[in-house]
Structure 1
Amino acid sequence: MPVFTLAAPVTAELEIRKSRFIAHALPVADRDAAMEVLRQLRDAHPGATHVCWALLAGGQSGMSDDGEPSGSAGRPILEVLRHHDLDSVLGAVVRYYGGVKLGAGGLVRAYTDAIATALVEAQRVERIAQARLAVELSYADEARARRWMEQHDVVLLESRYGAQVWLAMQMPASEIEAARNTLRDLTQGRAVFPEDD
């Protein structure tokens, strides 16, 4: 099943019974990047009553109700992100309290509607898992390997030169085995793939 991230940040604002809900959904690399975005949102909205959020980022996921009743804000935001098959995405909703209490059920609906409204216009892009491949080859084979990398948009991460040429590259994880076979063919079997760099 494909997993998606967002092509660009999206925002939406709703007013519900005099409270303002400003929803933001944006792609983030990891939890540290998400925490920085939340800090910026708090700085930009010093008068906000709450900045509730949910993060889907592999093993770094999390959420916060930021003072709202437990389970009434972070969890609904998280469920909307999951419903859209998103990863590496932060959903945050800034709330300015308008004086009318919404109750737990009303809050769940408000936070769900706010983030869902922001995602209506969002452009999703498939997130393709990347993997790293290291190869050792002779100096004579380096030019062929680099030409193949250029033709297939393989990213060179690092190169080292000693008795052999050592190259580390990044590509979609699903293409690693085919890349090994191709590099073996290009070097007539001389390419070696060290398990550990």
Structure 2
Amino acid sequence: MAGVTGFSGGVYRREDSIKRSRFIVSVAHAPDTATARAFIEAVRGEFADATHNCWAFAAGPPGDTARIGCSDDGEPHGTAGRPMLQQLLHGGVGEVAAVVTRYFGGVKLGTGGLVRAYAAMARLGLDGLPLRQRIVPARVSVVLAHGRAGALRRLLPAYEAAILSEVHGADVECIIGLPVEHAAAFMAAVIDMAAGDALVDVLPPVED
């Protein structure tokens, strides 16, 4: 089934020491940009005395770049936020935000060392992250004659489908929810059942 693999909730935190600098990664569920930014600000407030609070978020499905952001928070440009974001985008997890807090330990890591450190902390934050699979069902609009409504209902169990809404007017207009992998076959079955006398369209999914 189509779905979004995402963090199940709360704040997941790991810590490591790299060349005497203390690194803390905090990870949280970020279903939208506003939630991601609120989480980032909360962590920045919690570790206000840190040398850096670098962050990245990907607030869409795994690998999606429509709602992303990152910041080096004072580290050399491109050495923290971007490496973290790349780990989030390629980590197979969606709707996630991460903040890597650094307390400088007196040993400079250099640009390459910083990239490796922040990428490693982002990976550490994803490792062992408690996940859940959120199913996003397909939604199909069906408009057909009243006399075919019973036949439509009889089709539903075979496709794990359910009527989400139903309006009776000159015709019956239904919104059907079902697993996305069954959508094409279900639509073909409806057209066949109605002998071509039905309007069937895929609607955009509604995500919670």
With the shorter chain as reference, the TM-score category is: 0.7 to 0.9
Conservation of the 8 A alpha-carbon contact between 2:13 and 2:25: yes
What is aligned with 2:13? 11
More displaced stretch, 61-70 vs 152-161: 152-161
Give, as a single letter, the amino acid of the residue that structure 2 aligns with 1:12: R
In the other structure, the counterpart of 2:42 is: 40
Question: Gapped runs of 5+ residues in structure 2?
Answer: none
Q: CA deviation at 1:77?
A: 0.9
Matches for 1:1-197 after TM superposition, within 5 Å: 5-8=5-8, 10-56=12-58, 57=60, 58=64, 59-122=66-129, 131-142=138-149, 145-146=152-153, 148-149=155-156, 152-154=159-161, 157-187=164-194, 189-194=196-201
| In 2: Cα distance, 1:46 partner to 1:78 partner | 22
Give me the whole-angstrom Cα distance separating, in 2, the residues matched to 1:23 and 1:130: 33
**Equivalenced residues, count:** 196
TM-aligned CA deviation for residue 145 of structure 1: 3.9
Cα deviation for residue 45 of structure 1 reads 3.1
Partner Cα distance (2:155, 2:175) in 1 = 14
The alpha carbon displacement at 1:63 in A equals 1.8
Q: Which runs of 5+ in 1 are unaligned?
A: none
Residue type of the alignment partner of 1:37:
F
Q: TM-score, normalised by structure 1?
A: 0.74
CA positional deviation for 1:41: 2.3
Distance 1:62 1:85 in 2: 17
Root-mean-square deviation (Å): 3.6
Q: Deviations over 1:170-196 (max 9, x none)?
A: 444443221212333455544322578
Q: Is the 8 A contact 1:51 1:93 kept in 2?
A: yes
CA shift in 2, pair 1:165/1:33, >3 Å: farther
